Structure 1
């Protein structure tokens, strides 16, 4: 009598195991790309999605990366999507009303190809590298839209430019004044005059304050990660090539990128306390952050 119950239990366990292991075609792929390239393209993915949808009212279900994901690309993308204002479905789970997102980052003849699938829409972009090793867009992206979703490629958010998407601001919305309609000549008597109340401006609710999250990934060079953080924030970071260490443990920071209390300054202060003194200067006019060893002249 116990055999049917045992068989049912084994069947349920097998079904759960099948759900936990998604087919390869349902997973995102990061293969052969450097940390800096992969992290930069997570920003590009988030910017394409933000330009194509309304983040505040959109839930995204991102397919997890196949394999171990040692560069924590899934985490980096989630951080940026939340900063843009998207809600995220639990990893790998179907969620009612969520847009399904799958991406592939892989090398192609020395360049890097990004393939982004959003539901049934698709965008494919090819990137090369400039003299400093940063990604630059090669040509234009190929886009396949659907009747329900048109993917938009924001040119000003592509790696060829340091500028960032402009965020919307709350607007004061004033109701239009009614246009008076002349009384008909057949009216029996004119209506008694009324004192019109002044229109009251209606203020749009301010957007929610989102404190950006920044993940320092274990096993990756500190220089590459700070350059990647700058890419995400729209800042150009100058960090000497010979000032570099491997991050020993994954750590999370919150707050804005720049400023004396920003995350870049937090990292520089931690390194200084660990016997690696650095100085940091922000050039706000051109969005540049310059890091040098303590006592060395700024470039």
Structure 2
């Protein structure tokens, strides 16, 4: 306890294993339920959602976003703005801007662009939540460094997020004494500290619920009980028009802006070799993104 106080900043909550397991189960159940529902919606309606969203005016898009996520921040990277608006002393007693620090990519400036919201939907609805655990943890980096987001503290345990295939395994808590690899997985960052794992689960639970609500707003005339029924057969996955223009080139600026909304990818050496360094573009046929914001 004294050591924690000596570090300065808000004190973390000292959570029990039972409390962490309970919260993790609740979050993971919600995340996977939303994911399965979203996946089934997209399998049947993604082309319709794309067509309707791109055909709406900016004001119509804003109304839909605010219904699905009330009080959505207006500006790009709202965590930076929140950091400027609070002093360290104010954050000592608890930040007023938790949402901005936890979900910096959820903002009007980015999501009102037709392509960003559709990229986010496609990535999260067609790939399981554990794929995004690391990038979602990284998205909260400023909030944690600024001590606006303070993970709960539970010693001698590791939380499993990477590689989990089911809700029961996602957020599973391992005791270092009862599992031979639990400490090493935490130490080499293959898995998560319990407190940071809970933050990732909290982030994903609200994000996935938001995406489901968004789809239901777009498909407002389709009843919830039939939206994923056999009334609407599964369709081939539609493609999303590239913003590279007629040249087929994708600028690095566009790739960097879109990266938080896409499926996270590993370093792609083939793609790097396709970069035209003089023009800051990627040759057609080598458009897979290797950059992260």
Q: Same fold by TM-score, threshold 0.5 exceeded? A: no
Q: Does 1 or 2 have the higher relative contact order (CA < 8 Å, sep 6+)?
A: 2
Query: For this structure pair, what is the TM-score category when the shorter chain's length is used for normalisation?
Result: under 0.3
Question: Could you state the TM-score of these two structures normalised by the residue count of structure 2?
Answer: 0.22
Task: Point out the structure with max Rg over C-alpha.
Answer: 1
Structure with bigger helix share is 2
Structure with bigger strand share is 1
